[in-house]
């Protein structure tokens, strides 16, 4: 039997020069065109590497020794942040991270033959401690409840107490819950056998309100010492306005179950965004970097060119964060969202802010937009902020029927953004420029705003 020979072998040591960074932030070196992906290596560096895995088309390797270092290299905070994927770009200086993100979009546009300028990425003054939400696994390590994060592509827990990119008050709250679990010997979840009790600790903290919500994600409603846990949490954390038990009985990677029970305080917490108040429930989607969300939304509104006379459709309206922000600058905003609970939250948030020119409906955007078109509704601006998979083909077809003069596309995935811009060109749309906004410093995630006109 003929086994195809790879150009390199596992455990082989090589001296290479790193040429590029992948979209996942790994260094790339080439051996006669054969790519080697190296975690923690930066372009321009010469390094001794050891091959860890070799396939026919590419290999993975780890750094053994750096012979030269990039001027963009900084001392990383700790290996655990790379191992777990919490901060895969922590070794890259922040200005270079911002440049990397803009370059990723440019490269994808070039491949798609899109002639769209990409502006310099808008970054943060303090690119750490920004996340307002944590979902931390709890596992039994050496007989005691331990919190941390999984190694990338595994279910091996790396114990962690400081998560670097999270609000430090959230990190402290996770330790309070962990220590209470240890004190009362509340069993952590055993994933292999779908046993034990507490699976995850979820914490949300309002950046502006400083209100905190603790969610205990459990395999069963029967949590031992539950009253003592709640009493301990509320005594140690005066910011807590809500303690919630979330039931997830299934053997699954999905973190939250659908059923919740309020153990203390309110069913949600409140925070403000660009002057509007929002109630956020455990299952609500809410942007995790509130400072940069304000930058992103301000950019979207500014580039939409709203004057107070426009009708806007927000096609992925969620709990109404962008719809209600835009409503202050538009004549009328129509939000459509497939999740009924999110629509209920959006309506409540409209009332909370006294906003009467925003209307929210449940449904698939492509279906509802067709109904609106049939009813004679004319939209001046279509706002889209889709999930990572981008716009569904049916949605793009619905845009082709409605043909709004302007589309504001907020993207969290430049690959699907490039694909969708090509599809929208078929209906006569042209993008002016793409503005990247760094919502997730130290990571490879890229958000951006692009305005298209017919």
- Long-range contact list for 55-60, CB < 8 A, 24+ apart? 55/6, 56/4, 56/6, 58/34, 59/6, 59/7, 59/8, 59/34, 59/35, 60/36
Give 354's DSSP letter. T
Q: Which two tokens stand for residue 220?
A: 């069963």
How many whole angstroms separate alpha carbon 79 and alpha carbon 82? 5
The number of residues in the chain equals 454
Q: Which two tokens stand for residue 368?
A: 């509802």
CB atoms within 10 A of CB 143: 8
Residue 281 CB contacts under 8 Å (≥ 6 apart), including other chains: 267, 268, 341, 345
In 215-308, alpha helices (H): 226-236, 290-304
- H/E element holding 204? strand 198-205
Active-site position among 327, 412, 417, 424: 412
Taking a C-beta distance cutoff of 8 angstroms, is the pair 69, 45 a contact? yes
Distances (CA, A) of 85 to 46, 89, 203, 388: 24, 9, 19, 18
Tell me the angle at which helices 393-402 and 414-425 cross, rounded to the nearest 10 degrees.
Answer: 40
Give 101's DSSP letter. H
Taking a C-beta distance cutoff of 8 angstroms, is the pair 320, 346 a contact? yes
Taking a C-beta distance cutoff of 8 angstroms, is the pair 18, 41 a contact? yes
Taking a C-beta distance cutoff of 8 angstroms, is the pair 278, 349 a contact? yes
- Quick check: is 385 catalytic? no
In 147-284, alpha helices (H): 168-184, 226-236
Question: So which residues are the catalytic ones?
Answer: 412
């Amino acid at each position: 039997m003929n086994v195809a020979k790879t150009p390199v072998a596992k455990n082989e040591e090589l001296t290479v020069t790193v040429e590029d960074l992948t979209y996942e932030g790994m260094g790339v070196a080439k051996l006669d065109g054969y790519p080697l992906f190296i975690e923690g290596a930066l372009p321009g560096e010469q390094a001794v590497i050891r091959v860890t895995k070799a396939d026919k088309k590419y290999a993975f390797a780890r750094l053994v020794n750096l012979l030269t270092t990039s001027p963009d290299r900084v001392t990383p905070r700790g290996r655990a942040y790379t191992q777990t994927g919490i901060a895969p770009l922590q070794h890259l200086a922040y200005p270079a991270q911002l440049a990397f993100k803009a370059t990723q979009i440019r490269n994808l546009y070039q491949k798609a033959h899109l002639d769209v300028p990409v502006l310099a990425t808008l970054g943060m003054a303090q690119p750490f401690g920004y996340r307002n939400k944590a979902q931390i696994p709890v596992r039994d390590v050496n007989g005691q409840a331990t919190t941390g994060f999984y190694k990338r592509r595994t279910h091996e827990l790396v114990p962690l107490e400081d998560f670097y990119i999270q609000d430090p008050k959230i990190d402290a709250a996770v330790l309070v819950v962990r220590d209470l679990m240890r004190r009362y010997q509340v069993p952590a979840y055993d994933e292999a056998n779908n046993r034990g009790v507490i699976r995850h600790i979820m914490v949300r903290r309002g950046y502006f309100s400083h209100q905190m919500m603790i969610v205990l994600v459990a395999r069963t409603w029967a949590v031992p010492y539950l009253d003592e846990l709640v009493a301990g949490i509320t005594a140690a954390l005066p910011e807590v306005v809500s303690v919630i038990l979330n039931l997830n009985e299934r053997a699954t990677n999905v973190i939250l179950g659908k059923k919740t029970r309020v153990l203390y305080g309110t069913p949600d917490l409140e925070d403000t965004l660009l002057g509007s108040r929002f109630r956020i429930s455990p299952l609500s989607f809410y942007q995790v970097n509130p400072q940069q969300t304000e930058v992103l939304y301000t950019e979207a509104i500014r580039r939409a060119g709203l004057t107070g006379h426009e009708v806007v459709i927000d096609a992925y309206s969620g709990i109404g964060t962008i719809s209600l922000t835009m409503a202050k600058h538009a004549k009328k905003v129509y939000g459509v969202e497939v999740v009924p609970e999110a629509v209920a939250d959006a309506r409540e948030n409209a009332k909370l802010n006294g906003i009467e020119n925003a209307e929210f409906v449940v449904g698939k955007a492509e279906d509802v937009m067709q109904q609106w078109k049939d009813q004679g509704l004319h939209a001046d601006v279509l706002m889209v902020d889709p999930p990572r998979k981008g716009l569904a083909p049916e949605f793009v077809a619905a845009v082709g029927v409605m043909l709004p003069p302007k589309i504001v596309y907020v993207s969290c995935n430049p690959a699907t953004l490039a694909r969708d811009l090509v599809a929208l060109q078929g209906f006569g749309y042209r993008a002016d420029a793409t503005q990247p906004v760094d919502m997730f410093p130290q990571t490879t995630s890229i958000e951006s705003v692009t305005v298209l006109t017919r």
